[in-house]
Amino acid sequence: MAKLAAAILAVSAAFFIAGCAGSSKFDDLFKPSWAFDHFAYDNQGEVVNMKLDNFSGAGFASKSKYLFGKVSVQIKLVGGDSAGTVTAFYMSSEGQFHNEFDFEFLGNKTGEPYLVQTNVYVNGVGNREQRLNLWFDPTKGFHTYSLFWNRRQVVFLVDETPVRVHSNLEHKGIPFPKDQAMGVYSSIWNADDWATQGGLVKTDWSHAPFVASYQGFEIDACAVPGEVAAADVQKQCSSGGDKRYWWDEPTVSELNVHQSHQLVWVRANHMVYDYCSDTARFPATPAECLHHRH
């Protein structure tokens, strides 16, 4: 099984590589959005360190909003006893009926694994949590976390390995996020009322500050100017045969065979919670769970 796992994870994700842009400095794409004094920069701005202490967390936001494409960042998560902390990387639109795609990294006691929670909001409705542990220690070095989005699917990737797919099931009458431009965000904050063992383990502030580090900022997506009307957003980001809009290509309309195998392996070996299987929360199975193949 170990050899099979290694083979699966080693397969090149050529399916997505075609659309990858070169990495940029933080200031090219992002700006701090709160707690400016909780940021520190290394390597001439290539690395951003964002801290949480008992005064404040911190967050940053993209300078533009996007519809479809791929966003990636390399993160080294809080080491040691990170219980109670959450480091989030996500995309979100605005308003009550917003869309949102979340990576939330839930801290834990020293020596225990990080849990990664993903969630998808559509038209303001979330409650689609999945949780998994990782096949590496995310506190020992930088790893790449990506969100890929087109009209057919939303794919969550860790080091180019798909860990979740949310498919477009509009033909089944299920809404899909495709008409709201979204910003790209990250934050670190205290959530010890729920983040670690359901809130049983609290943040130990004697270990503060808790620092998450970032590098390798990449956005290869359709930037939507603020003045574009909502009705024109999709038109703005439709390819019309333009190869720059690579996310419209048929080859990225679904996972390829290797990626499908990778996702099966992740679900079988690393998923620890899936809302689709939580009959206590959802006595009636959520509609999309009846149709999703993954």
Task: Exactly one of 94, 104, 112, 249 is catalytic; name it.
Answer: 104
Let me know if 104 is a catalytic residue.
yes
Output the CA–CA distances (angstroms, integers) from residue 170 to 100, 173, 174, 251, in the order listed. 17, 5, 5, 20
Of 46, 94, 100, 112, which one is the catalytic site residue? 100
Residue 207 to residues 23, 78, 204: CA-CA distances in angstroms?
Answer: 32, 11, 6
CB neighbourhood size of 290 (10 A): 12
Q: Are 138 and 162 in contact (CB under 8 A)?
A: no
Q: What is the 3-state secondary structure (H, E, C) of the chain?
A: CHHHHHHHHHCCCHHHHCCCCCCECHHHHEEEEECHHHEEEEHHHCEEEEEECCCCCEEEEECCEEEEEEEEEEEECCCCCCCCEEEEEEEECCCCCCCEEEEEEECCCCCCCCEEEEEEEECCECCCCEEEECCCCCCCCCEEEEEEECCCEEEEEECCEEEEEEECCHHHCCCCCCCCCEEEEEEEEECCCCCCHHHCCCCCHHHCCEEEEEEEEEEEEEEECCCCCHHHHHHHCCCCCCCCCHHHCHHHCCCCHHHHHHHHHHHHHHEEEEHHHCCCCCCCCCHHHHHCCC
170 noted as active-site residue: no
User: Would you state the structure tokens that stand for residue 109, as one six-digit string?
Assistant: 């006691």
User: Active-site residues: which are they?
Assistant: 100, 104
